[in-house]
Amino acid sequence: MLQSGCVPVSNHTATSASDRIARAFLLDCAMAHARLVCVGERGAIALSDDNGEHWRRAQAPPTRLLTAVDFADARRGWAVGHDGVILHSDDGGATWRVQYRLADDSVPLFDVSFSGAHLGIAVGAFGGYVTTDDGGVTWTERRIAASDSHLYAIARASNGALIIAGEASTLLRSDDNGANWRSIASPIEGSVFGVVTGADNFVLAYGLLGAWARSHDAGNTWQTGQLPTRASIQAADISDPNAPLLGSADGSVWRFDGEPLARDVGAVTHLQRLSDGDVLLTGISGAKRLSLSASTEPASLAR
């Protein structure tokens, strides 16, 4: 949405310096064993060892907006972002260093996915695609599609298939760990902002104007759906296959059937079910815990 001059209001009340990091604009989170690691604006990397109650800042070199983070195991993780940067941590997210930078630093990277500690793929704007098979010691840039559409997300289905989602209904699949990619006839008309995978070959893609599509065969066949909003979906969690969650840019959290679970929580960039049953939500004004009660009433923020 374009603005003609009104600065977005993000009230943050005075808080302790350690918790301020949790108020930053955060885009993505990953678990390093029991530790939450979230990344976002101005190279912010926020850590929480108590399911998002308290936060601290990780030690990381200065970078610009970080867009995604993934951990191969409890210790080894990668984060990517603008200026084509790839950061690496081998101590569970406590400290980070720059591992690689794209040759063209005007290309932002948008997602990273590791399968084990060696095989990793990062995708980004203008068809940006970069891989490693040695845990990030060397990275190789290449092109996988004819168009230079932005590639927004990458995920691995439970059967091992890799799926990339991108601009203008882009959906790509690779069944050989990324060696070859082919287009999938996309069930979504506009841009696909994200793709997440679950058990039993479950795949969920989502994007522009409240559109989503799910597949139970790792992306061969799709069933589409539409949320009752014109806002785009930019976050999802399917870790509980019985109660998947979708988050939209107009600040709502939804069930598949279009039932709102929470309203006015700010644009949602990431959703993650926590071990205690609550949901961690990130967005423009930071990370929040959300209690989704069993009732049908829209939930309120836990704090």
Partner 1 sequence: MSPTLSVTLSSRIAAFIVGRRRSIIVTAVLLTLGLAAGISKLVLEVAFDKTFPAHHPYMDVLRHYGPQFGHRDEVLVALVANEGDIYTPAFLARLEQLTNDLFFLPGVDRARVTSLFTPNVRFTEIVAGGFTGGPVLPDGFTPIPAMAEQLRINVGKSEQARLLVSTDRRAALVRVGLTQANTARGDLLDYRQVAAELDKNIRAKYSDAQTHVHILGFAPFMGEMTGKLQEVAGFFVLTIVAMAVILYATLRSTFVTLIPIACSLIALVWLLGLMGWFGLSITPVGVLVPFLVMAIGVSHGVQIANAFVHTNSGDIGAPAAALAALSRLLLPGALALLADVLGFATILLIDIPLVRELGLTATAGIALLLLCNLALLPCLLAVSPSPRAMPVSSIGVRAAAWLGAGNAPAASRRRAIGVVGAAALVTLIAAPFAARVDVGDAQRGAPELHADSRYNIALRSVNDLFSASIDTLIVYADIGADGCMNFAAMQTIDDVAAALRELPEVLRVRVLTEVAKVNNAGWHEGSLKWRALPRDSTALGEVVSPVQTSSGLLNHDCSVLPIYLDTIDHRATTIRAVLQGIDAVRSSLPPATVKLRLAGGNLAVLAATNDVVSAAQLPVIATIYAIVFIMCVLGFRSLTAAICIVVPLAMVSVLCYALMYALNIGLTPYTLPVVAVGAGIGVDYGLYLYAQYRPALRGKSMSATALTAAARQSMSAIIATCLTLTAGVLPWLLSGLKYQADMGLLLTFMFVVNMLAAILVMPALLAIMTKHRT
Q: If binding means CB under 8 A, how many residues of this protein chain bind partner 1?
A: 47
Minimal distance, residue 37 CB to partner 1, in Å = 17
Nearer to partner 1, 108 or 187 (CB): 108
Q: Return d(Cα 60, Cα 89) in angstroms, integer.
A: 9
- Among positions 96, 110, 139, 202, the unique one binding partner 1 when judged by CB under 8 A: 110
Residue 234 within binding range of partner 1, rule CB under 8 A: yes
Q: Could you say which residues in the range 112-131 bind partner 1, by CB under 8 A?
A: none
Dihedral of CA atoms 76, 86, 271, 94 in degrees, nearest 10, equals 40
- Among positions 55, 78, 96, 152, the unique one binding partner 1 when judged by CB under 8 A: 152
Per-residue contact string for residues 31-60; x = within reach of partner 1 by CB under 8 A: ----------xx------------------
Residue-level length of the chain: 303
Amino acid identity at 7: V
Minimal distance, residue 144 CB to partner 1, in Å = 19
Residue 134 within binding range of partner 1, rule CB under 8 A: no
Residue 135 within binding range of partner 1, rule CB under 8 A: no
- Among positions 48, 232, 272, 285, the unique one binding partner 1 when judged by CB under 8 A: 232
Residue 294 within binding range of partner 1, rule CB under 8 A: no
Residue 61 within binding range of partner 1, rule CB under 8 A: no
CA separation (Å) from 59 to 45, 88, 248? 8, 11, 31
- Angle CA 199–200–205, to nearest 5: 70
Closest to 64 in 3D by CA, of 106, 95, 3, 5: 106
Q: Centre a 10 Å sphere on the Cβ of residue 200 and count the other Cβ atoms it contains.
A: 11
Per-residue contact string for residues 235-274; x = within reach of partner 1 by CB under 8 A: --------------xx----------------x-x-----
Q: Return d(Cα 10, Cα 23) in angstroms, integer.
A: 9
Q: Return d(Cα 193, Cα 204) in angstroms, integer.
A: 11
Q: Are strands 151-156 and 260-262 parallel, antiparallel or unpaired?
A: unpaired
Residue 103 within binding range of partner 1, rule CB under 8 A: no
Q: Give me the sheet containing 151-156, strands edge to edge.
A: 151-156, 162-166, 170-174, 182-183
Site residues for partner 1 per CB under 8 A? 1-12, 14, 17, 20, 25, 27, 41-42, 64-65, 67, 82-83, 105-106, 108, 110, 150, 152, 167-168, 189-191, 193, 208-209, 230-232, 234, 249-250, 267, 269, 284
